[in-house]
Structure 1
Amino acid sequence: MESLPHEIVLNILSRLPIPSLVQSKLVCRPWRSLIRSLIHDPSFILQSNHPIQSQLYLGDFSSQNDGNYNMVTMKLPMPPLSRFTLASSCNGLLCLLDYHRSFEPCIYNPFTANFLELPHLTRHHNFQVLGFGFHPITKEYKLVEISYTIYTCGGSFGRLDPSPFKSDVHILTLGSSTWRHLGTVPYHVHSQQKSQARINGKLLHWVSWMKNRRSTIIISFDMETEKFHEIPLPDCCSSSNKPTEGFDQVVVIRGCLSAVRYGNDSEELEIWVMKEYGVKESWSKEFSIGAYVPKILLERDESEFLIYSRSYLHRKQTRVMCMLRSGELLLEYRNKALVVYDPHCKTFKDVQLTFEGIPTFFIVDVHVANLNWIDTLVDMAEN
């Protein structure tokens, strides 16, 4: 194949079905680049938790002739863990949490089956949020952990005491033998939030609560300086007295930091885009998405229908994954369904997932395949 002209190889690959294209991505880097130019949209890592536990898949989009979407998945080699959960993904490397080691993080490349256990970190808190990133200049991969304990006052469940509102921050550079303690910060990032936006390669972002603030804020962490900063918010959220009016999620849209918020009635989902990074005045509301119930949720028993009603689904149950090259948005509902939304026609299309045994629950993350070995990347960081 190396002796064939580029145009002929491209013509051959363009005739392959999507499952074969997905498998052919692993042949070599030139093929992967060619195939990505054919598929157009990003790949995804999916972790199935039921009925097959902790199984990893690579997913790629396929647009059908009738305009509908199909995501074809390929089962990936498993790490040497019996049970785990997908925490984050960066440059083809997965950050997994090991259930049997008190949710200790580890790094895994599913395309090389290369696995790296990380140094143990003694924790004194109940909740942890992980950020995984790569600095394009220093060539270092770093793992950031924000951990905290929720205190209650008066012994009543669910009533939070804001007085000890602080989190411990630890950081690990891949290749190092120890975690470093960066001190405490007055932020709480919800431990169940999978939303982490990476901008310019080195800046991680989360939605967070802060002491004496009723609304949420957006914080950033610089992988080079290892410092936190607050992102200026648009007027609709920066001075809000109602928690429901703050942002609930961050995402990258067209390379820009973007944030998701819900209307007071939870019937409309808004996406705001920061067109010029760090400039408050550049925030603009770009999308308004109405409530929608995917077909797979409508097929539940009638006794469960109230849970999946239109008004309930938008109460922090819908996650904006990314924008496709078509300009449509990929949405994820309750870890059970993927939907493509067309902002021009304001229409929804359920994505048909093709699995070996369709899971009833899954975790999904945008993913870019990488054939580098972890040891090589660690050596680069050490040098």
Structure 2
Amino acid sequence: MEDIISFDLSAEEFQELARLDFESLRKHTCHLVTLNGILSAVISYDDGTHEIWKMKDYNVKESWSREFVIGKYIPKIFLTFGRFCSYPGRGRIDGYRKHKFQVICILSNAEVLLLYENQALVSYNVETGKFKDLIIKGQRFEYLSTLHTGSILSVSAAFNMHG
């Protein structure tokens, strides 16, 4: 993981945030995500496992703590329709490629929503360690994920627009 840079909207300033700092991060893929309003890092290892670390106190390096580990999982769509992984640029035959794994969010039932290879949505129960493939009938086999947070604040009010 390289540096983490944040932008303070009220002060209109950039600042560098305290990041996880251990040597093995340089050998693995990492992406950032906000989970339950907390900055989190997802570290993907070559064996197909993933660690979720959370920054409990904003911009305090010592507050980074490992929350849980997600074990290796191959979504059923990759086993059933293996041909989707055979296109050029796709993952290995087992459907796993560490930089194509994404943690989307934590659902209200303490399950984590995961996206594999932009093709398979999976929920992972942190307490039981069980995976569940999510099938959306009528949907294509490619997903582009964007997480939105609902608000009752109007766009005009949020940007102080008049008219």
| Residue equivalent to 1:229 | 15
Within the alignment, does 1:289 sit opposite 2:37 as a pair?
no
Distance 1:344 1:248, change over 3 A: same
Give CA deviations for 1:210-257 in whole Å, capped at 9, x if unaligned: xxxxx5222211112222211112332xxx376324x62111123211
Specify the SS of the correspondent of 2:58.
Answer: coil
TM-score (normalizing by structure 2): 0.81
Give CA deviations for 1:115-152 in whole Å, capped at 9, x if unaligned: xxxxxxxxxxxxxxxxxxxxxxxxxxxxxxxxxxxxxx
Q: One-letter code of the match for 1:288?
A: V
C-alpha distance in 2, partners of 1:278/1:361?
35
Within the alignment, does 1:252 sit opposite 2:34 as a pair?
yes
| Residue equivalent to 1:217 | 3
Q: Deviation at 1:378? A: 7.5
Within the alignment, does 1:351 sit opposite 2:137 as a pair?
no
C-alpha distance in 1, partners of 2:85/2:61?
46
| Residue equivalent to 1:318 | 101
Q: Deviation at 1:373? A: 6.6
Distance 1:337 1:302, change over 3 A: closer
Specify the SS of the correspondent of 1:267.
Answer: coil
Contact 2:82 2:93 in 1 (8 A): no
Q: Deviation at 1:314? A: 4.3
C-alpha distance in 2, partners of 1:241/1:369?
37
C-alpha distance in 1, partners of 2:145/2:9?
24
What runs of 5+ residues in structure 1 fail to find an aligned partner?
1-214
Q: 1:307 aligns with which of 84, 91, 94?
A: 91
| Residue equivalent to 1:364 | 145
Contact 2:104 2:112 in 1 (8 A): yes
Aligned residues: 160
Contact 1:297 1:308 in 2 (8 A): no
Q: Deviation at 1:279? A: 1.0
Distance 1:307 1:379, change over 3 A: closer
Give CA deviations for 1:302-336 in whole Å, capped at 9, x if unaligned: 982983444x6242111001111111100011211
Contact 1:341 1:348 in 2 (8 A): yes
Q: One-letter code of the match for 1:301?
A: R
Contact 2:78 2:84 in 1 (8 A): no
C-alpha distance in 2, partners of 1:323/1:317?
19
RMSD between aligned residues: 2.9
Larger Rg: 1
Specify the SS of the correspondent of 2:143.
Answer: strand
Q: Deviation at 1:275? A: 0.8
Distance 1:379 1:313, change over 3 A: closer
C-alpha distance in 2, partners of 1:343/1:378?
35
Larger relative strand fraction: 1
C-alpha distance in 2, partners of 1:379/1:336?
35
Distance 1:365 1:261, change over 3 A: same
Q: One-letter code of the match for 1:328?
A: E
C-alpha distance in 1, partners of 2:31/2:135?
25
Contact 1:268 1:314 in 2 (8 A): no
Contact 2:85 2:92 in 1 (8 A): no
Specify the SS of the correspondent of 1:251.
Answer: strand
Q: 2:59 aligns with which of 278, 286, 289?
A: 278
C-alpha distance in 2, partners of 1:332/1:325?
17
C-alpha distance in 1, partners of 2:55/2:25?
22
Q: Deviation at 1:369? A: 4.8
C-alpha distance in 2, partners of 1:330/1:287?
14
C-alpha distance in 1, partners of 2:122/2:53?
20
Alignment of 1:89-108 (within 5 A): none
Identity of aligned residues (%): 33
Q: 1:243 aligns with which of 26, 41, 46?
A: 26
Contact 2:18 2:61 in 1 (8 A): yes
TM-score (normalizing by structure 1): 0.37
Contact 1:216 1:248 in 2 (8 A): no
